[in-house]
Amino acid sequence: MSDRFAILLCGGSGTRLWPLSRTLRPKQLLALNGKQTLLQQTAHRLCHHVPASNLLTVTHEDHKFEVKGQLAEILPEAVNGVMAEPCARNTLPAIAWAVSRIHRQSPDAIVGVFPSDHAIDNEAAFYQAWEAAEQGASQDYLTLLGISPTYPATGYGYIQPADVDIAQSPAQKVHEVARFVEKPDLESAQHFVASGYLWNSGMFVFRASVFMQMLAKHQPEIASVINGLDTENLAEEYAKLPNISIDYGLVELAEQVAVVPVDMAWSDLGSWDSIYQKNDKNADQNVCAGDVISVDTQDSLLWNTHGLLATLGVSNLAIIQTADATLICDRSRTEDIKQLVTLVQKHQPELTELHRTVHRPWGTYTVLEEGVNFKIKRISVNPGASLSMQMHHHRSEHWVVVSGLAKITNDHQEITLEENQSTYIPKTHRHRLENPGDKPLQIIEVQCGDYVGEDDIVRFEDTYGRYS
Calculate mean pLDDT across residues 281-292. Answer: 97
Sign of the torsion angle spanned by Cα atoms 181, 187, 192, 198: positive
Any bridge partners for residue 431, and if so which?
390, 410
Among 234, 267, 300, the domain boundary falls at 267
Q: Is 467 part of a structural domain of the chain?
A: no
What CA–CA distance (Å, rounded) separates 300 from 298? 6
Question: Looking at the predicted structure, is the pLDDT value of residue 60 above 70?
Answer: yes
Describe the strand order of the beta sheet including 326-330 as a list of residue ranges: 287-289, 301-304, 317-321, 326-330
Same domain, 362 and 251: no
323: number of CA atoms within 13 Å, CB side? 9
8 A C-beta contact, residue 43 and residue 37: no
27: number of CA atoms within 13 Å, CB side? 22
Residue 25's pLDDT band (cuts 50, 70, 90): confident
| Mean pLDDT, the chain, integer | 92
Instruction: State the residue range of the domain holding 433.
Output: 357-461
pTM of the model: 0.84
Question: Looking at the predicted structure, is the pLDDT value of residue 468 above 60?
Answer: no
The per-residue pLDDT for 406 is 97
Domain count of the chain? 3
pLDDT tens per residue across span 96-144? 999 999 999 999 999 999 999 999 999 999 999 999 999 999 999 999 9
Among 287, 310, 344, the domain boundary falls at 344
Same domain, 88 and 8: yes
Same domain, 251 and 207: yes
Burial of 155 (0-12, 13-18, 19+ CB in 10 A): middle
Residue 164's pLDDT band (cuts 50, 70, 90): confident
The per-residue pLDDT for 370 is 87
Question: Looking at the predicted structure, is the pLDDT value of residue 170 above 70?
Answer: no
Residue 446's pLDDT band (cuts 50, 70, 90): very high
- Cα dihedral angle (167, 250, 100, 57), rounded to 10 degrees? -80
